[in-house]
Structure 1
Amino acid sequence: MKILFFLVLLGLHSAAAVIHSMKNFFTVSSEVPNFPELVAVGMVDDVQIYHYDSNTMRLVPKQDWMNRVAEDEPQFWKTYTARLFGYQQLFKGYFETLKHRFNQTGGVHIFQWMVGCEWDDETGDVNGFRQVGYDGEDFLSWDVKTNTWIAPKQQAVITKNSWNNDKSQLAYYKNYLTQECPDWLKIYVKYGRSSLMRTELPSVSLLQKTPSSPVSCFATGFYPDRADIFWRKDGEELHENVELGEILPNHNGSFQMNVDLNLSSVIPEDWRRYECVFHLSGVKDDIITKLDKAVIQTNWGKTGDGSDGGFPLGAVIGVVVVLLLLVVGIVGFFIWKKKKGKEGFKPANISDTDSDNSGSQNPKA
């Protein structure tokens, strides 16, 4: 597990059946200058729905439709805020225990707790997950199939044994993550459907830093993030001399991604055989951009048509701003890499706080 100091926000939304997700991320830190002791972030389908920190002691909605949830549930924000305050005390206790176990007396340290669930809106299948991280590494994970905690580190064995011996707590976890959490997730999807299930196509540009640099096919402004972008030659997808970038969030909730093509061994006459293809899940027609020197934007001169070719700095700067803001607001958001075969879990959720009363039920670390 790696701590990412930015939020790589997410999606799974289209008219077709999708797996929706809900996740809560809690981060407790020590000796991090000008940073709250606790930061909590809630996500639905990898879209941030709330933010809370121990400095403001306020639960702030991040989506307009979350206000409608509060309107229909008058005690929603008050109850939720109280629970988050309870988690602040609970996780602080866990944090101190772990620092002692690792024989740490000072310095910057980070404790992370993630809880969430997934729901397939076609099959009705649900899955829950709960993980604990410490200083950027996995500390404990909960196995939904065996209903037990798993310890990847020797220092976590004591906690694992203690928590696995608490059968009532394990039963509570299973009930919350397989029933209560999915119920809340369905409510959020209902209220946020028009936003979460929307489809937005991107603008696609060809970019090049220098005449000898790879040509980057850059797509920005698309939603959801279930998208693919690739280069192909003579209609066949290329796997060599290409480098695919990550999907990143824009400041307006949309996404961007790019794929680079190294043309160092390609003669100019063959450029016309290459094209960039962008595919958005749920959309029938792909966006195809032919490799053409005349349309390449650069930061070293003019495009082939004589216009001022420059990178779309607005989108790039927007991402930088988003990432910086998320450093401040979501420093504890951690992501386990997605692997084929669904190894590990993908980030997403409502929260251990929506209906999870474990703030008063969690065993000691």
Structure 2
Amino acid sequence: MTTLALPRLALTAGEPAGIGPELLVRLAATSLAANFIAITDRGLLERAAARCGTRLQLIDDDGESTDHRPTGTLRVRHIPLGSTEIPGQPDPRNARHVLATLSEAADGCMARRYAAIVTAPLQKSSINDAGIPFSGHTEFFAEHSHADVVMMLASPELRVALATTHLPLRAVSAAIDATSLERTLRIVHTELRSKFGFDTPRIAVLGLNPHAGENGHIGREEIDTIIPVVNKLRQEGMRLLGPVPADTAFVPAQRERYDAVLAMYHDQALPVLKSEAFDRTVNITLGLPFIRTSVDHGTALDLAGTGKADPSSLIAAARLALDLVARRTT
């Protein structure tokens, strides 16, 4: 009987002073059937393991496949820190290290050295403090791979994609135009088919305004933009619901009608998702030429260095990445 090689998952540790390095150590202690390649500083991982009181074996990555990973081991693609980390205190001198780990992970996926990327949280402000414009993982990978992307957060019970991401609320309406909304819906539809295996995915499109605008009495974005795009794509065969009022979109009777939700802005739907499945929710970037999943939380600087950070979301992100890799290869 032939034994299959384990998928090579690239892991990035995110902010060196945050909980990311400790989460990678905890992930290595699981029995997940993956060949984990930690793209970060070797010493950073050693110090994180010591803080967690966990035994960790680090092996220099040789690029080779393997059919077995002993529990508690990580392969390492060493990228040195700019400055030794102090838990809880991000240092802008490490900004270029963080970006170098992301570049290596993305380049490695596009060169097929890695099957997918799983990212731990980073500190955007620290990178910006280094004088480097940076909006986040999603935007970085999109620019790096020249792809149009959509942010989705998914739990076992609910999938939520976003028409806009990290914008001030006052800027949301202007950012939702017919072109961008159509592009977003096409990406979500395509990825639900190719990555999640839905032959004819059902997508609930939320309205922007309360009660989906009440026929123009509480805003015209639904009438002028959302409804025309939804109708156009329905005529092409997409199964779209809406615009659905956000205040009723997540009741059980509505959830039975769709496979995913497209929310108009970040906080319109994500509080629902995170309140019921925070430790099981995964951030996935749709539209990339590779698989990328991530935790759904931040760097938790107050917990960094204590060894008490909960790895559940990173473990869920790794599990989803493995599921998506398996679906892609079947």
| TM norm structure 1 | 0.27
> More strand by proportion, 1 or 2?
1
Bigger Rg, which one: 1
